[in-house]
Amino acid sequence: MAEKLEIMRQVVIDLATVFPELTANEQIYLVPKIMSIDSMAPLELQVCESGVAYPEHDGSCRSENFIVTVGIFRKYRLDSGGRHSKALTDLAVSIFKLKETVIDILDGKFLTGALLTRPLIIQTESAVTETKNTGQLLKTLNFIAGLNVEMT
């Protein structure tokens, strides 16, 4: 368990390296599940574990595949001055670029210090959804990561 927690913490740190305007453990942080909070910053990234599968068992070694989910939250405001189309286009481009940056830094990586046995691989991404009535949009990215665990 401590190894997986270290992996999740390293995901936060690695994401902070490509988003210098965000601070690890403030705007990029671990959560038990991806969730909207009313007092969020204009841009936040949440990281959580979203499930585990144990596909193989070979003697005293067990393979563990777990899902690392990254939630990208982006606040938005639309003005009534007739510029909503430009604002929405800019927002769509922003979310697309954020998603691509997260995939670029994590996909195919073993993380700093080669923490994983098998690299993070992008599996799925959600559609953009609106969270509650808070003026926040959310896109989630799911990566599968692999460990081999020695059984005692």
Kindly report, residue by residue over 62-76, the tens digit of the pLDDT.
888 999 999 999 998
pLDDT of residue 34: 96
Strand partners, 131: 136
Name 8's Cβ contacts closer than 8 Å, sequence gap at least 6: 30, 47, 48, 49, 68
Sign of CA dihedral 53, 15, 150, 31: negative
Where does residue 71 rank: exposed (0-12), middle (13-18), buried (19+ CB within 10 A)? buried
Name 125's Cβ contacts closer than 8 Å, sequence gap at least 6: 99, 139, 140, 141, 142
Provide the whole-model pTM: 0.91
- In the Cβ-directed half-sphere of 50, how many Cα atoms lie within 13 Å? 18
Q: What is the pLDDT of residues 35-53, one digit of tens each?
A: 998 889 999 999 999 988 8
Longest Cα separation, the chain: 67
pLDDT of residue 100: 98
Domains and CATH numbers, the chain: 2-150 (3.30.2000.10)
pLDDT of residue 152: 67
pLDDT of residue 80: 64
Report which secondary-structure segment, H or E, holds 98: helix 84-106
Q: Which residue has the higher pLDDT, 152 or 118?
A: 118
- C-alpha to C-alpha distance for 43 and 76, rounded to whole angstroms: 10
Q: What is the pLDDT of residues 84-134, one digit of tens each?
A: 788 888 889 999 999 999 999 999 999 987 789 899 999 999 999 988 777
pLDDT of residue 135: 83
